[in-house]
Amino acid sequence: MADGPLSEVLLRRLEAADGGLDSAELAAELRVEHQAVVGAVKSLQALGEVIEAELRSTKRWELTPEGEEIAREGSHEARVFRSVPPGGLAQSELMKLPSGQVGFSKAMSNKWIRVDKSAADGPRVFRVADSVEDEVQKRLLVVRSGQAEKLSEKERNELRKRKLLSEVTLKTYWVSKGSAFSTSVSKQDTELSPEMISSGSWRDRSFKPYNFAARGVLPDSGHLHPLMKVRTQFRQIFLEMGFSEMPTNNFIESSFWNFDALFQPQQHPARDQHDTFFLQDPAVAPQLPMDYVHRVQRTHSQGGYGSQGYKYPWKLDEARKNLLRTHTTASSARALHLLAQKKPFTPVKYFSIDRVFRNETLDSTHLAEFHQIEGVVADYGLTLGHLMGVLQEFFTKLGITQLRFKPAYNPYTEPSMEVFSYHQGLKKWVEVGNSGLFRPEMLLPMGLPEKVSVIAWGLSLERPTMIKYGINNIRELVGHKVNLQMVYDSPMCRLDMPTQAAA
Binding footprint of ligand FB9 on the chain (CB under 6 A): 329, 358, 372, 374, 398, 400, 410, 413, 430-436, 456-460, 463-464, 467-468
What is the Cα–Cα distance from 451 to 333, expressed in whole angstroms? 18
Task: Give the number of other CB atoms < 10 A from CB of residue 105.
Answer: 12
Nearer to ligand FB9, 159 or 230 (CB): 230
CB of 282 to ligand FB9, least distance (A): 26
Nearer to ligand FB9, 99 or 410 (CB): 410
Nearer to ligand FB9, 37 or 335 (CB): 335
Nearer to ligand FB9, 307 or 359 (CB): 359
User: Please, how many CA atoms are within 13 Å of residue 404, restricted to the half-sphere of its CB?
Assistant: 9
Strands (DSSP E) found in 295-394? 322-324, 348-357, 369-380
Nearer to ligand FB9, 173 or 420 (CB): 420
CB of 403 to ligand FB9, least distance (A): 11
CB of 246 to ligand FB9, least distance (A): 12
CB of 213 to ligand FB9, least distance (A): 40
**308 contact partners, CB below 8 Å, separation of at least 6:** none
- For ligand FB9, the nearest residue by Cβ is 458
CB of 415 to ligand FB9, least distance (A): 11
Strand-strand pairing, 244-245 and 348-357: parallel
**478 contact partners, CB below 8 Å, separation of at least 6:** 227, 367, 462
Q: Is the dihedral of CA 22, 27, 30, 36 positive or negative?
A: positive
Nearer to ligand FB9, 193 or 401 (CB): 401
What is each CA distance from 128 to 91, 113, 136, 177, 337, in whole angstroms? 15, 5, 19, 62, 97
Nearer to ligand FB9, 298 or 423 (CB): 423
CB of 329 to ligand FB9, least distance (A): 5
End-to-end CA distance of the chain: 55
**499 contact partners, CB below 8 Å, separation of at least 6:** 425, 467, 468, 470
What is the Cα–Cα distance from 188 to 46, expressed in whole angstroms? 9
Nearer to ligand FB9, 24 or 432 (CB): 432
Tell me how many helices (H) and strands (E) the chain has. 19, 15
CB of 288 to ligand FB9, least distance (A): 22
Task: Give the number of other CB atoms < 10 A from CB of residue 31.
Answer: 8
CB of 408 to ligand FB9, least distance (A): 9
